[in-house]
Structure 1
Amino acid sequence: MSVDFAYIADDFTGATDVLEALASAGARARLYLDCAPSAVEPGLQAIGIATTARATAAAELPNVLAPLFDALVSLQPAIVQYKVCSTFDSSPEIGNIATVISTAWERFPYQSVLPVIVGAPRLGRWVVFGNLFARYGVTAKIYRLDRHPVMRFHPITPMEESDLGVILHHQGLPHPVEYLTVLDYTLDQSTSFEKFQRTDRTVLIADTLLEEHLTTLGRLVLAALRTPALVIGSSGATQAICNALIERGKFCGEPLLAAPYPVDPVLVVSGSCSRVSANQTQRAIQAGFCEIAIVPDKLLHNDAYIEEVAEKIAQQLCRGKSVIAHTCSGPDDPRLLNRHSPWERLHLGRELGRQLGELVARVAGRVPVRRIIVTGGDTSGYVALAAGLKALDPIAVIAPGAPLCRACAPQTCLDGIEFCFKGGQTGPEDFYLIARDGVKT
């Protein structure tokens, strides 16, 4: 069975972000976790595969991603997207996007121009003259990526450059890079990808300052590229393609997502070290959430400690109290693993995420919990896999880029539970309150 749109995401929060964009466009979509489905359910128009590629060593990426791209190409969709973070989180050693491009492009030998669409204005991400800018959640101020208060000092992939083409070349991209800029939209309404082609293969970085730029890009992709076509980009790229597929009558354009209804208590598990998440945590505690500060070193090496924390959480949930359990609360938290090298932090973060997944499963086995929020891009992937989730279906939106999904986890206590996987930079300060109380009217 074929689908209209298929994607691979480099982390789980980004994967659900794309799922939201598809459902908002009226597409019936499902997200599979870390593996391609053996069969596509009837009626699906789009499918995705969530991976932890963003936190994977560059040398391992081809072996991880090649079979997934092969599986998606076999479905003959119009578009295959590799979803990257809208802050382009990557480095030459970890989550290398240039390596992904080389691996994926081998499956599309007929495609001479590869669009890279990273900006997502609805999320506060813009690309102008090839440089990426991002809003900082605490102040709403906009920063160039290499000056962003969080991304410049990311514990695993600190971003020291804002020009996306330069970043890709630093990561070893073997192809020339061209730029479709805001001036091209203004001066040449008949812009086509071919005018940018310099060799048999050219990577094209597309500016995305305005929402209408996404509409133009979506039309260009479908009109100019033979299908299946490969696109690299954030959920902004997904939105661009969805707009074009709506115009062509492939997607209905009527959102399939509702506003979240109140659920109390909820469980929040956070492995994020961002200040945005820390502020959200403090706001939740002020609003009545029970705080449980987890000691990472104990969680990593002491099963009795996991049992102790699980029991504490379960007791509070049984009393009707929403709980927020975290391993870090902001970049100044002494529990932060910054005393280690990036490779050590990567390994420890992976193990910590797995233990948090075990913690979630133990809590759900003790007490019925209907809604679980997991915060942290890398954390989310490890938690979902360790907890045994197989697939996610979108049902509602808590905030842009952070949908609520129903989990498919056959023969486990987590089957049917509502999950939200939220990036550390995502959402307003009262995000957890909305997750508990429903959307404010």
Structure 2
Amino acid sequence: MSAAIHSAREEALPAGRLLTFYGDDYTGSSAVMEVLSFAGVPTVLFLGAPTPERIARFKDFRALGVAGVARSQSPDWMAEHLPPVFRQLAALGAPISHYKICSTFDSAPHVGSIGKAIELAEPILGGAWHPLVVGAPALARYQAFGHLFAAIDGTGYRLDRHPVMARHPVTPMHEADVRAHLARQTALPIGLVDFVALKAGQGDARLARELANHARIVALDVLDEETLIAAGRLVWTHRGDRLFTVGSQGLEYALVAYWRAAGLLPRETVANEITPRERIAVVSGSCSPITAGQIAVALDNGFAGIRLDATRAVDAESWAREIGRGVQEALRTLGEGRDPLIFTASGPDDPAVPALNAAIAASGASTGDVNARIGDGLGRALDRVVREGGLARAVISGGDTSGHAGMALGIYAVTALAPLAPGSPLCRAYADDAHDGLEISFKGGQMGTPDFFPAAKGLGANATNHRTRREYGT
């Protein structure tokens, strides 16, 4: 491996932008920014397509991303909304462009289709091949012979047997082989460079063989630091003039690992520590059991739980009244010296989940429309609580929730401030109003340790009353 790195070594990374990316949800997008920023690659994430003037404000940043909501959208929606963003990224001229997906490959032919996104991006963002990098050991995500595994509570599961992903309410994973899963979404040929070839130093030869067999998408196994570096080397040294890539933040982990191994980046992490805040506010639309555990720990540590009745979201006026009630309770809670935590469910077994499904079915409303209304409502609630409560820090929990709620806040960009948990950094918000400078974290449902919400407030490990200190899969 070291010989291969040395033979391909460059004197320095090229000047200008190194990478642009589109994230199919907000939390995943902030995870890419986290990996690059704390490795010493200044990165800005725009919450929606940026204007030229806003791009110019960050002209010296080496990486630029756009957070989106494609993971929760149909192929028709993608066909309408993704090409303009891809064209905007292409115009920036970075050697690597990345369609960022969830590290648990959340997708289906009818919603969040990764295959559809690749088909739309390929003629715009180009490249002789499209690396698919999903594994990320830092997140307890591993890929072997094309099969994706994720760990939770220290135990690894094949993704189709994972206690969370096998039961995902929108995109349950019934197939662990990323090639087979993706083949249901696109007819583009898919190849594989497995970890055996990577560890044997045969990655280049295997890639050449896959391309000779007309593969357009090539999945790269990642199991450990050695295969992470090898995957990053293949992507970077075979990028050509430009390369469109697909994957989780594992792609950035791989590039950073190779750049460091090749002496192109320093090995030191560039990050600040979390400064404690007297009060914060949290909104959560996640149904993940991991978020449920985090809510329980937060309530044990003085947060005030405020449950919203999500069934009322089938009607816009009723939901607006419910949001108003939640805001008033949150402001009262702040007045009592406690941190409000507004949520719609506590895990997949919460009776609120089937109740919402039944309400949607009875109303004849669209599930997508109702979920968007829930996310938007949580964002509007957080907007009012932050403004009227004079808060400087907030957290949004849930991948899809973060997208809709983030838009409701009117924030147009964020940069990474400090690490909280892998994939969920504390960010600095940019806005044209009072939210400029707000500290915010977008937390995916499956991200973080049980003490995430107290940690986001700035409480150290010794200041929390943990029910458990087990590491959750992230």
TM-score (norm 2): 0.88
Partner Cα separation in structure 2 for residue 113 and residue 194 of structure 1: 11
Q: Does 1:107 align with 2:124?
A: yes
Structure 1 counterpart of 2:449, from 419, 428, 433? 428
Q: 1:260/1:222 Cα in 2 relative to 1: closer, same or farther (>3 Å)?
A: same
Partner of 1:182: 195
Q: Does 1:95 align with 2:112?
A: yes
Q: Which moved more, 1:357-366 or 1:34-43?
A: 34-43
Q: CA contact under 8 A between 2:19 and 2:97: conserved in structure 1? A: yes
Partner Cα separation in structure 1 for residue 322 and residue 177 of structure 2: 45
The Cα of 1:440 is off from its aligned counterpart by 3.5
Partner Cα separation in structure 1 for residue 32 and residue 274 of structure 2: 18
Q: CA contact under 8 A between 1:127 and 1:209: conserved in structure 2? A: yes
The Cα of 1:323 is off from its aligned counterpart by 1.6
Q: 1:247/1:209 Cα in 2 relative to 1: closer, same or farther (>3 Å)?
A: closer
Q: Does 1:385 align with 2:398?
A: no
Partner Cα separation in structure 2 for residue 64 and residue 247 of structure 1: 38
Q: Which moved more, 1:291-300 or 1:85-94?
A: 291-300
Partner of 2:178: 164
Aligned runs of 1:183-332 on 2, under 5 Å?
183-189=196-202, 191-192=204-205, 193-246=207-260, 251-298=265-312, 300-302=316-318, 303-332=320-349
The Cα of 1:333 is off from its aligned counterpart by 1.3
The Cα of 1:290 is off from its aligned counterpart by 0.8
Structure 1 counterpart of 2:76, from 59, 65, 75? 59
Partner Cα separation in structure 1 for residue 357 and residue 289 of structure 2: 15
- Gaps of at least 5 residues in structure 2 are 1-14, 463-474
Partner of 2:425: 403
| SS, match of residue 106 in structure 1 | helix
The Cα of 1:437 is off from its aligned counterpart by 3.0
Partner Cα separation in structure 2 for residue 305 and residue 377 of structure 1: 22
Partner of 2:167: 153
Partner of 2:22: 8
The Cα of 1:108 is off from its aligned counterpart by 4.2
Structure 1 counterpart of 2:142, from 119, 126, 145? 126
Q: 1:388/1:190 Cα in 2 relative to 1: closer, same or farther (>3 Å)?
A: closer
Q: Which moved more, 1:121-130 or 1:176-185?
A: 176-185
Partner of 2:394: 372
The Cα of 1:68 is off from its aligned counterpart by 1.1
Partner Cα separation in structure 1 for residue 235 and residue 51 of structure 2: 26
Q: CA contact under 8 A between 1:18 and 1:235: conserved in structure 2? A: yes
Structure 2 counterpart of 1:356, from 371, 378, 383? 378
Structure 2 counterpart of 1:416, from 437, 452, 455? 437
C-alpha distance after superposition, 1:106-133 (max 9, x if no partner)? 1244x33211000111111111110111
C-alpha distance after superposition, 1:283-315 (max 9, x if no partner)? 110111111111113355333332221121112
Partner Cα separation in structure 2 for residue 427 and residue 294 of structure 1: 23
Partner Cα separation in structure 2 for residue 13 and residue 37 of structure 1: 22
Partner Cα separation in structure 1 for residue 168 and residue 102 of structure 2: 13
Partner of 1:394: 416
C-alpha distance after superposition, 1:64-120 (max 9, x if no partner)? 1111111111111121011110000000000100011111111244x3321100011
Aligned identity (percent) is: 33
Partner Cα separation in structure 2 for residue 222 and residue 421 of structure 1: 29
Partner of 2:357: 338
Q: 1:383/1:221 Cα in 2 relative to 1: closer, same or farther (>3 Å)?
A: same
Q: 1:343/1:404 Cα in 2 relative to 1: closer, same or farther (>3 Å)?
A: farther
Partner of 2:6: none
Q: 1:167/1:267 Cα in 2 relative to 1: closer, same or farther (>3 Å)?
A: same
Q: CA contact under 8 A between 1:25 and 1:246: conserved in structure 2? A: no
Q: 1:96/1:190 Cα in 2 relative to 1: closer, same or farther (>3 Å)?
A: closer
Q: CA contact under 8 A between 1:402 and 1:422: conserved in structure 2? A: yes
Partner Cα separation in structure 1 for residue 67 and residue 410 of structure 2: 14
The amino acid that maps onto 1:31 is: L
Q: CA contact under 8 A between 2:96 and 2:239: conserved in structure 1? A: no
The Cα of 1:2 is off from its aligned counterpart by 4.5
Q: Does 1:19 align with 2:40?
A: no
Q: CA contact under 8 A between 2:281 and 2:386: conserved in structure 1? A: no
Q: CA RMSD in A?
A: 2.0
Partner Cα separation in structure 1 for residue 238 and residue 321 of structure 2: 58
Partner Cα separation in structure 2 for residue 343 and residue 198 of structure 1: 49
Q: CA contact under 8 A between 1:145 and 1:161: conserved in structure 2? A: yes
| SS, match of residue 429 in structure 2 | strand
Q: CA contact under 8 A between 2:166 and 2:172: conserved in structure 1? A: yes
Partner Cα separation in structure 1 for residue 82 and residue 158 of structure 2: 30
Q: 1:275/1:131 Cα in 2 relative to 1: closer, same or farther (>3 Å)?
A: same
The amino acid that maps onto 1:220 is: L
TM-score (norm 1): 0.94
Partner Cα separation in structure 2 for residue 162 and residue 142 of structure 1: 13
Q: 1:190/1:366 Cα in 2 relative to 1: closer, same or farther (>3 Å)?
A: closer
